[in-house]
Homo-oligomer: A and B are copies of this chain.
Amino acid sequence: MLSIGELSRRTAVKVPTIRYYEQVGLMPAPPRTEGKQRRYGPAEVSRLNFIRHARELGFEVEAIRELLALNENPDQSCAEADRIARRHMIEVERRIEQLTALRTELQRMINECSHGRVGECRVIQALADHDQCAHECH
């Protein structure tokens, strides 16, 4: 059984954040020792790792709640699982598209940077001039 500190080390999620996740229902209330300290098993490590990654990917807590629910009863209702999975799939694809466009633009900015003075810096110009291109770009 892991203390909250060990769980934190294994998942790279800070201790107060773990308690916060418990408070908002993303993590289950774990069993406690005599002295009220939390003790976790290996399932919680996976669950918390999942939450961390999902957060890094920009999913809201509410969306993560759904994904977790999906994971918990996979053969409960296929139709429901399918619906949630599809909805998130669309969201994920939308996000990949946006990020890919963003990467292209950042790449272009960096490539065109002449490594000279700020006066000619494409990174800054690209940001300032963007509304000219905005209509064609997006």
Contact = CB atoms under 8 A, between A and B. Distances in A.
Interface of A: 11-12, 46-47, 49-50, 53-54, 56-58, 67-68, 70-71, 73-79, 81-82, 84-86, 88-89, 92-93, 95-96, 98-100, 102-103, 105-107, 109-110, 113-121, 123-125, 127-131
A84 to B, nearest CB: 8
A128 B46 contact: yes
Contact of A123 (B49, B81, B117): B81
23 contacts: A46-B128, A47-B128, A49-B130, A50-B127, A53-B127, A54-B127, A57-B99, A70-B118, A70-B121, A71-B123, A74-B119, A76-B118, A77-B115, A77-B118, A78-B117, A78-B118, A81-B124, A82-B123, A84-B123, A85-B106, A88-B106, A89-B110, A95-B99
